[in-house]
Amino acid sequence: MFKYLQSIGKALMMPIAVLPAAALLMGIGYWIDPVGWGGESALAAFLITAGAAIIDNMSLLFAVGVAYGLAKDNNGSAALSGLVAFMVITSLLSPGTVSSLFGRELSASEYLAFERIANQFIGILSGVVAAMAYNRFSKTELPNFLAFFSGRRLVPIVTAGAMVVVSGVFLFVWPIMFAGLVSFGTTIAGLGAFGAGLYGFFNRLLIPIGLHHPLNSVFWFDLVSINDLGNFWGGPDGGGVIGQTGMYMAGFFPVMMFGLPGACLAMYRCARPENRKKVYGIMVAAAFASFFTGITEPIEFSFIFVAPLLLLVHATLTGISMIIAASMQWFAGFGFSAGLVDLVLSTAVPFATGWYMLIALGIVYFFVYYFVFSFFIKKFNLQTPGREIEDTQSEMELELETGDWHTMAVGFIEGLGGKENITSIDNCSTRLRLSVKDTTLISDSELKKFGAFGIVKPSKTEAQVVVGPKVQFVADEIKKML
């Protein structure tokens, strides 16, 4: 189950990667017409509507993206099956259809539940069912008179049948689930700024196991009626509330743009003198990625496993930042992550209130992270990068040229125990995700020598290698060699 949840988290990155396009279109639109929200400019309305087409259909994108991402060979027929699955369940469980099946008018709570059936949770479920059908039936051979429907053509048919059964179950289960989800969302929303802080704390705490993506879906999308990201970019009729919408995003900006770069400086200054040159290059690149794009894993995985105490500190500081931003109503939003690009794009959105104070808080957070990390590293002699008493990489340190994916791939294969130890390889936005025969054959030092920021081994046959935002190029090169 744990492994499968990780796989879903990885698959979610496919549809989520579309969000920056929506943020770009809508951000420019709101810049053009910050008062009328598209009502006073045809061009602004055009751009905002184009971006809203993505935001408003995230549940559909989830169905297609998750099915594609979970399919064993990422085939397009799996994505098509995800679309079929979503169309079947949302049609069968629409209020009108359900009312006809029950032979009566729906109660207010039932109507609300089935009215909201086309949500991201159902999208994810549709994608999972479609991927399972694809992985099981994509190579099935039927008798000659049905041969046309064999293999991949069979998958959408099987998926449709499976979703009829799932719809029959959800006919009775969904109203109960929906009531529970609404109760959960209401509880969190009722905690106000403190609830945002709890979310921020657990968001960072789940980074090592990759389960922060499903958690994000609860608060950013329309699973429990919070839909913070969707409402932020949704315009005047999107359900947002000025002074509230954005509270589950805003507090990340001070941490990702300023706090973690401060942590990089602390780790650099705390490194042994002979190792600082090597640490400098790593930390500068990681800090820039965090500040500019909001991609933080290269930094976080440099200390998560060698100094778990710093992860707890990092999660706590993130929660505090979320509480401060929500309490003071300093709000901004993002389409991808809390970096400079998204901050700039979101400033013209009507729900972005006091966003400039996030920069002021960020400057404070830079020094907070620097001094707090420095204190804990020195006080407890934490083995952050460059503090190793015996640096296992120093003798064979490589100077890799940018884009030298072949050399990295060769080194990674060797570090992973050779071709014979690798059974499958995939990647998400920053990590290689691998199935291997034996993780004890993996050499962490060899992988780090060739550019890995960190290595995670969830089980004896599963491994993740943190590479950074250009991981796809390394993954593609390794796949060619395998």
The catalytically annotated residue of 58, 310, 428, 466 is: 428
Q: Is the pLDDT of residue 399 over 60?
A: no
Q: What is the mean pLDDT of residues 106-113?
A: 86
Strands 431-436 and 462-466: antiparallel
Nearest to 309 by CA among 258, 388, 207, 377: 377
- List, in order, residues 6 or more apart from 474 with CB less than 8 Å away: 405, 408, 409, 412, 427, 432, 451, 467
Phi/psi for 453 (5° steps) reads -90, -25
**Which pLDDT score is estimated for 211?**
61
Could you tell me which residue, 265 or 7, shows the higher pLDDT? 265
Residue 35 pLDDT grade (very low, low, confident, very high; cuts 50, 70, 90): low
**Which pLDDT score is estimated for 320?**
97
Nearest to 282 by CA among 258, 257, 265: 265
Q: Is the pLDDT of residue 30 over 80?
A: no
**Locate tokens 């936005």: which residue?**
429
Could you tell me which residue, 185 or 142, shows the higher pLDDT? 142
Q: Which DSSP category does 464 fall into?
A: E
Burial track 44-74 (b if 16+ CB lie within 10 A, e otherwise): bbebbebbbebbbbbbbbbbbbbbbbbbeeb
- List, in order, residues 6 or more apart from 139 with CB less than 8 Å away: 151
The number of helices, as runs of H, and strands, as runs of E, in the chain is 22, 4
Nearest to 131 by CA among 150, 167, 149, 158: 158
The end-to-end CA distance of the chain, in Å, is 28
**Sheet containing strand 431-436, strands side by side:** 422-427, 431-436, 462-466, 454-456
Burial of residue 323 (number of CB atoms within 10 Å: 0-12, 13-18, 19+): buried
Q: What percent of the chain has pLDDT over 70?
A: 91
Could you tell me which residue, 307 or 81, shows the higher pLDDT? 81
Q: Is the pLDDT of residue 396 over 60?
A: no
**Token pair recorded at residue 332:** 């901004």
Instruction: Return the axis-axis angle of helices 154-190 and 192-205, rounded to nearest 10°.
Output: 130
Nearest to 337 by CA among 444, 418, 216: 216
Give the tens place of pLDDT for each residue, 423-440: 988 877 678 888 899 999
Q: Structure pTM?
A: 0.67
**Which pLDDT score is estimated for 179?**
81
CA distance 70 to 410: 26
**Locate tokens 């290269």: which residue?**
298
**Which pLDDT score is estimated for 455?**
86
428 flagged as catalytic: yes
The DSSP code sequence of 231-299 is HHTS-TTTT--TTTTTTTTTTHHIIIIIIHHHHHHHHHHHS-GGGHHHHHHHHHHHHHHHHHH---HHH
- List, in order, residues 6 or more apart from 241 with CB less than 8 Å away: 231
Burial track 381-403 (b if 16+ CB lie within 10 A, e otherwise): ebebbbbeeebeeeeeeeeeeee
Give the tens place of pLDDT for each residue, 205-214: 888 766 676 6
- List, in order, residues 6 or more apart from 159 with CB less than 8 Å away: 81, 82, 84, 85, 88, 129, 130, 133, 134
Phi/psi for 380 (5° steps) reads -110, 10
Q: What is the mean pLDDT of residues 376-396?
A: 70
**Which pLDDT score is estimated for 237?**
66
Nearest to 26 by CA among 330, 362, 352, 339: 352
Could you tell me which residue, 181 or 143, shows the higher pLDDT? 143
Residue 255 pLDDT grade (very low, low, confident, very high; cuts 50, 70, 90): very high
Burial track 159-169 (b if 16+ CB lie within 10 A, e otherwise): bbebbeebbee
Q: Is the pLDDT of residue 54 over 90?
A: no
